[in-house]
Structure 1
Amino acid sequence: MKSGRERLLNAATTLLSQHPEREPSTRELYQAAGVAAPTLYHHFGTKEGLLDIVVEQAFADYLERKHGMLRTGDLLADFAAGWDLHIEFGVANPMLYALMYGPHLSRAAATADAELRRGLQRLAAEGLLRVSVEDAAATTTATAIGCVTMLNRLHAAPTASWAQHIRAGLIEQITGQPRDEISQEQAARALLARMPSPGTSFTPAEASLLRQWLAVLATAPDAEQVAPVSSPSRKGSIR
């Protein structure tokens, strides 16, 4: 037979799953668990104490999924994928997310901050941050909370185009590297336009050969296919 504590945790999880848009009342919680009000106070102190544990458990499940993501070898691509999962979690669990980033610092929020900082430190170690880890963490968290809040307010999907623009803007802000997708033709033409003069980075023969290759890519049959631009310095393996 389940203990009163387990029944309250299960009841809270169920109520938040059934009504993800609102916070259950204390009465709803202990009645759904089939226990008396003092049982809740005995095990959790307050309703907030109970909900904090539920949020922490839900976020731990999310982190397990995130840790299982395949690493691409591109730290910025991994950071973007981590952002997408975070936004998806907030949209799928609006009340849990609101509780997580409520007035008091939840354990789930503290865990999220620690995970974020580890990822940002990896970016910094590769020279990919143009701001401090502290500033990047605050900017990323504030941007994510704002994005999730607006998505939930508008009942929009996490893949909304404007949400993708927010992600691209954030990454460019903290790294200085744009993450918009461009065509192969556009990428080749951009490189051709920025080719250094012979003798700076390449010998005349190397520069000539590279120009030939880029010219081929700029007019290749599959030039219409869209592919992300990746910097050769982005190596390593977020969350």
Structure 2
Amino acid sequence: MSSRSDQTRQRVIEAAIGLLTRGGRDAVTTRAVAEAAGLQPPAIYRLFGDKDGLLDAVAEYGFAAFLATKHVDPDPPDLIEDLRDGWDLAIEFGLANPALFTLMYTEPAREESAAFKAGLEILMGRMRRLAAGGLLRVDEELAAQVVHATARGAVLTWLSLPEKRRDPALFTTLRESMVAAVTNERPAVRDSGPAGAARALRAALPGQAALSDAEQRLLSEWLKRLTEAD
């Protein structure tokens, strides 16, 4: 795509976000977006295919903007505080961009989005570090889903409430409930018996070379059974 086309595409996306912010999803019509961007409606179809294609591009822009706010520390001094910080960052982004956040997270999952995948990898990295440190109470995938669900739910619930019913304690309460649900306050390898040790060892398996692939798969299955027996 040429630089000029890229600039036009960006102008259209920004126009759509402006309409979305001021009037919600219903305000984002191809005619209104074209007018706001200083184009003719057929240009929207040439660039995005249809309105759904335009909304997908707007959501992708949102995921990329959210990704740009994330600070990735590969070796945080406090893993649980790092988890809290990541959760808080999602809340801050959602409250600063309510219409965009709602579009991003109330539509079907956009698993093909490169920015969405990159953000998910950051979240899974946090889960792997917690598991390897013996701090994860549940499976990594479930933990990531809980983190994602509580952050998304907190923002969407807040936005759905009339202002007089909005209590900031909602965020603190949900965040700490999430932390309690997915982590142990102290390393599980010391305090939670075989299941905690199994989670920590399972998380560390990909980084070792002493076992063959078949042996790793077998050991991983045994460790999974131990974690599920907790």
Q: Measured at CA, do residues 32 and 138 of structure 1 come closer, stay the same or move farther in structure 2, by a change above 3 Å?
A: same
Describe the SS at the equivalent of 1:77: helix
My pick for the range that moved more, 144-153 or 68-77, is 68-77
Choose from 137, 148, 165 the match for 2:173.
Answer: 165
Separation (CA, whole Å) in 2 of partners of 1:101 and 1:124: 27
Aligned counterpart, 1:149? 156
Equivalence for 1:229: none
Normalising by the residue count of structure 2, what TM-score does the alignment of the two structures yield?
0.66
Aligned to 1:59: 63
Q: 1:109 to 1:139 in 2, by over 3 A?
A: same
Shift of 1:137: 1.2
| Residues paired across the two proteins, number | 176
Greater helix proportion: 2
Q: 2:102 and 2:67 mapped to 1: Cα distance? A: 17
Asked if structure 2 preserves the Cα contact closer than 8 Å seen for 1:12 and 1:54, the reply is yes
Whichever residue aligns with residue 87 of structure 1, its letter is I
Instruction: Quote the Cα distance in structure 2 between the aligned partners of 1:174 and 1:7.
Output: 42
Structure 2 counterpart of 1:134, from 141, 166, 188: 141
Coordinate RMSD, CA, aligned = 2.9
Matched residue type, 2:24: R
User: Per-residue displacement from partner, 1:172-193 (whole Å, max 9, x unpaired)?
Assistant: 1001329xxxxxxxxxxxxxxx
Look at both structures and tell me which one has the larger radius of gyration over its CA atoms: 1
1:48-197 → structure 2 map (5 Å cutoff): 48-67=52-71, 73-106=77-110, 107=113, 108-154=115-161, 160-177=168-185
Q: CA deviation at 1:103?
A: 3.0
**1:33 equivalent among 34, 37, 40:** 37
**Post-superposition CA distance 1:32-61 (Å, at most 9, x none):** 112222211111112232233233233323
Deviation, 1:154, is: 2.2
CA contact (8 A) 1:88 1:158 kept: no
Q: What amino acid sits opposite 2:145 in the alignment?
A: A
Equivalent residues of 1:71, 1:78 under 8 A apart? no
* TM-score, normalising length: structure 1: 0.64
CA contact (8 A) 2:64 2:116 kept: no
SS of alignment partner, residue 177 of structure 1: coil
Instruction: Give the gaps of 5 or more residues in structure 1.
Output: 179-239
1:120 Cα deviation from its structure 2 partner:
0.9
Q: Which has the higher contact order (CA 8 A, sep 6+)?
A: 1
The CA distance in 2 between the partners of 1:127 and 1:103, in whole Å, is 35
Asked if 1:15 corresponds to 2:30, the answer is no
CA contact (8 A) 1:52 1:99 kept: no
Gap regions ≥5 residues in structure 2:
187-230
CA gap 1:68/1:75 in 2 versus in 1, 3 angstroms: closer
Contact 1:136 1:174 in 2 (8 A): yes
